[in-house]
Amino acid sequence: MGTWLAVAAGGAIGALGRYLISGWIFGAAGRGFPWGTLGVNLIGSCLMGFLFIWVTQELKLAPVWQAIMVAGFTGAFTTFSTFALEALNLMMSGRTLVGLAYIAVSVVACLGMVALGMKIARVLL
């Protein structure tokens, strides 16, 4: 199986997991705050860290399995987990300022891009 197909397969399972967990478990907590998204992001970030160590360093699985589990499943379960892993890896590698800059730019720029996309949609639609 090609790596791209492995990521797609893992991604399909991760996306379904996000939908089910966010809606069924965390959806019961109420609609006034995005508990489902927060819960999935927290679970996914923890899972990303665990799987990264487990499949790459402990089990030393083949790259295709790493792609299925880390990039595919957890990447689709929550892209926030990938962001968190990358930021933490930058800081743990001694590039603390780069990691902090990545966090700041990502949060501010992505919020700005959502606002821009909404504005473009309102103008065009």
Whole-angstrom Cα distance, residue 1 to residue 4?
8
Give the annotated binding-site residues for Na(+). Answer: 75, 78
Q: Across 6-58, where does the E strand assignment appear?
A: none
Give the annotated binding-site residues. Answer: 75, 78
Contacts of residue 41, defined as CB under 8 A and 6 or more positions apart, other chains included, come to 78, 80, 81
| Contact between residue 71 and residue 81 where contact means Cβ atoms under 8 Å apart | no
Whole-angstrom Cα distance, residue 61 to residue 10?
15
Helix, strand and coil percent figures for the chain, each rounded to 5: 85, 0, 15
